[in-house]
Amino acid sequence: MKTVFLTLLWPLAVAAGLSSLCRQASAEPPQTTKLLLSNCSIDNEISVANRNAIDQAATKFVQDLTGANPAGAYAAMTPEAKKKMTAEKFTVMAHERIQSAGPFKNLHVAHTYFVKIASKGTQQQVACGDTTKPEQWANVAAKAIPRQAHAIVEGQTASGSRAFTLWLIPEQKSWHVQDFQLGVESLAGKQAHDLWDLARAEEQQNHDFNAYMLYVTALQLAWRGPNLELGVHAEIQKEMQAAQKPKDLKEQAGFNWESDNSAFKVVSMGPIASDGKMYLQISQELPPWTEDKDADSRNRALAGAFAKLYPEYRDVFAGLAVEAHGHGTTLKYRTLIPN
């Protein structure tokens, strides 16, 4: 059975991506002031020569990063980016955290953003596209330099689609990568807009738990890192904040959840994909056990208590995957319970 995890911790999603500079992405992009004199062109609005140069540099970087030449990807980064990670650490990161998610197929540039700046100041953000249509605009980071670009390179893996988001700076007549982010773009064949629509439908039925989980997952799938926020990400976040939260939602991970005469220490909860279907995973912490049947019994007890509280989970999830972790040990046991 092939399983891919997209773990969400209460109350918000852990960032779906990972940065080349090993930065922990926040749940929302930095708040900054827009540059007053700027222009941003998207895709076909960009001149053929500029777009080809940007797209070729972005594609080559991702091909090297995900293939046999991470040193080539490192060489294509800006001097400022190289100061934050040595070539040796970059290569280790590429092997352990990027290539392990592959192999990547059908790599292609999905969107290109070309920014021109005509003012001075600190790092800012520039709005690109039609802000009245969430699917057609983005806020991108910008330095006070004449030209820069952002590119989203998409690719397919065995577990679904992934998106590399690159910030590129022109240096010595070629484009170099200032920063990049790798994010999960789909879960069990569903993208952000699919789960967004489903979240709205569940909210209409007053299924608060389902709606909240779907909003959070949609938000995560729409996340393209701290340097580029898609319009759909901003709109999903706005709706999620206005939605009714589940009545038993706690404000931190590792909370004690009581049901009837039982208590469970829940450490994380969120959707995963297993064999092309979306399951809800609930992870709990238990005292170390000697036989797996004991962990399985506690997992099933948690599943039963959860199903009693939120029976509507079956409307959107194919089942529960309850995972036990032994406190202070490496013990782990999962119980998969299809509907």
Domain boundaries, the chain: 16-186, 190-242, 255-338
- Each residue's pLDDT, cut to its tens digit, for the chain (339 residues) gives 444 444 444 332 223 333 333 333 333 444 455 555 788 999 999 999 999 999 999 999 999 999 999 999 999 999 999 999 999 999 999 999 999 988 999 999 999 999 998 877 666 889 998 888 888 899 999 998 999 999 999 999 988 899 999 999 999 889 999 999 999 999 999 999 999 999 999 999 999 999 999 999 999 999 999 999 999 999 999 999 888 887 766 555 555 666 666 788 888 888 998 888 999 999 999 999 999 999 999 999 999 988 988 999 999 999 999 999 999 999 999 999 999
Q: Residue 102: its pLDDT value, please?
A: 85
Q: Residue 323: its pLDDT value, please?
A: 95
Q: Residue 250: its pLDDT value, please?
A: 57
Query: Could you give the C-alpha distances from 91 to 23, 68, 94, 135, in angstroms and in order?
Result: 16, 10, 5, 35
pTM: 0.83
Q: Residue 13: its pLDDT value, please?
A: 29
Q: Residue 158: its pLDDT value, please?
A: 86
Q: Residue 17: its pLDDT value, please?
A: 32
The angle subtended at Cα 13 by Cα 328 and Cα 65, nearest 5°, is 90
Q: Does domain 16-186 have CATH number 3.10.450?
A: yes
Strands 255-259 and 147-157: unpaired
Tokens representing 62 are 């991702």
Question: Is there a cis peptide before residue 226, judged by omega within 30 degrees of 0?
Answer: no
CB count within 10 Å of CB 246 equals 18
**Dihedral sign from CA coordinates of 144, 43, 226, 95:** negative
Q: Residue 260: its pLDDT value, please?
A: 63
Q: Residue 300: its pLDDT value, please?
A: 96
Assign 324 to helix, strand or coil. strand
